[in-house]
Amino acid sequence: MSVEKSASGDVALKIERRWAAVSILIIAFLTGMAAYAGIHQAVMPQTTVEIINPTTLHMTGEFIESNLGSALEPDGSVTVRAVAQQYSFTPACIVVPKDTPITLRATSADVVHGLLIQQTNVNTMLVPGYVSVQTAKFEETGEHLMPCQEFCSVGHEGMWAKVQVIDKPQFLAMASNKRRLSCAE
Does residue number 170 form part of the binding site for other proteins (CB under 8 A)? no
Does residue number 94 form part of the binding site for other proteins (CB under 8 A)? no
Instruction: Pick between residue 152 and residue 166 the one whose CB is nearest to other proteins.
Output: 152
Least gap, CB of 74 to other proteins (angstroms)? 11
Q: What is the 3-state secondary structure (H, E, C) of 56-80?
A: HCCCCCCCCHHHCEEEECCCCCEEE
Does residue number 80 form part of the binding site for other proteins (CB under 8 A)? no
Q: Which has the closest alpha carbon to 110: 129, 123, 133? A: 129
Least gap, CB of 150 to other proteins (angstroms)? 6
Question: Mapping DSSP to helix (H, G, I), strand (E, B) and coil, where does residue 131 land?
Answer: strand
Interface with other proteins in residues 30-59 (CB under 8 A): 30-31, 33-35, 37-39, 41, 43-59
Instruction: Pick between residue 25 and residue 173 the one whose CB is nearest to other proteins.
Output: 25
Distance of CA 110 to the CA centre of its chain: 19
Least gap, CB of 140 to other proteins (angstroms)? 15
Question: Mapping DSSP to helix (H, G, I), strand (E, B) and coil, where does residue 168 land?
Answer: helix
- Specify the pairing of strand 113-116 against strand 102-108: unpaired
Interface with other proteins in residues 136-165 (CB under 8 A): 145, 147-161
Instruction: Pick between residue 22 and residue 173 the one whose CB is nearest to other proteins.
Output: 22
The only residue of 86, 98, 164, 175 in contact with other proteins, by rule CB under 8 A: 86
Distance, in Å, from the CA atom of 141 to the CA atom of 130, rounded to the nearest integer, reads 31
Give the helix/strand (H/E) hosting 29.
helix 7-40
Least gap, CB of 7 to other proteins (angstroms)? 10
Least gap, CB of 165 to other proteins (angstroms)? 15
Question: Mapping DSSP to helix (H, G, I), strand (E, B) and coil, where does residue 139 land?
Answer: coil
